[in-house]
Amino acid sequence: MAEGKNLYETVIVTSAKLGEEGSAALVERFKNLIAEHGTVQNVDDWGKRRFAYPIEKQTEGYYTLISFESGPEFTAELDRRYQITDGIMRTLIVKRDPRHLAKPQQRAQKSEEAGIDVEAIAAEAVEETAE
């Protein structure tokens, strides 16, 4: 990780009135903004989902998760831009804890060192659910 940079995730909920293409264009716009101020690591489109309660008299919206790395000062600017953009219904920006980002391979290696056979435990769980 670069000096002074943090890992973040942001969830964007866009209006269903925009349609799938309009929502994708809006997300692309924010993805480019994030890329200008940091590094986009992953974009995960969750698609159209129903809300638990109406938001601005709407019951559905398009959800997108973007994982990125940037300086801490950029998140305030990103949040400000979210608030003034039409079509954005809800957003959330969360700082990710790098201690919880260990790769699965590293976790498996640590399990092997501790004498735990993860594959055998998983196989037993599958067999038990099949019965």
Q: C-alpha angle 30/64/107, rounded to 5°?
A: 110
Provide φ and ψ at 57, rounded to 5°.
60, 25
Q: Are residues 20 and 39 in the same domain?
A: yes
Is residue 58 in a domain?
yes
pLDDT at 54: 94
- Residue 71 lies in domain: 6-100
Are 33 and 62 members of one domain?
yes
Residue range 95-119, pLDDT digits in tens: 998 777 666 556 556 656 666 665 6
**Neighbour count for residue 83 (Cβ, 10 Å):** 9
Mark whether 77 and 131 lie in a shared domain. Answer: no
**Do 35 and 10 sit in the same domain of this protein?**
yes
**Residues 35 and 67 grouped into a single domain:** yes
Verify that 114 and 69 share a domain, yes or no. Answer: no
Burial (CB count within 10 angstroms: exposed 0-12, middle 13-18, buried 19+), residue 117: exposed
- What tokens appear for 104 in the block? 């699965």
Task: Read off the pTM.
Answer: 0.73
Residue 44 falls within a domain, yes or no?
A: yes
Q: Do 94 and 105 fall within a single domain?
A: no
Best CA proximity match to 38, nearest among 8, 79, 13: 8
Residue 107 located in a structural domain: yes
Q: How far apart are the first and last CA of the chain?
A: 46
Flag whether 1 is in a domain.
no
CATH of the domain at 93: 3.30.70.60
Are 107 and 96 within one domain?
A: no
Structural domains counted in the chain: 2
Residues 84 and 115 in one domain: no
* 31 lies in the same domain as 19: yes
Residue 43 lies in a domain: yes
pLDDT in tens, 14-64: 999 999 999 999 999 999 999 999 999 999 999 999 999 999 999 999 999
Whether 68 contacts 23, CB under 8 Å = no
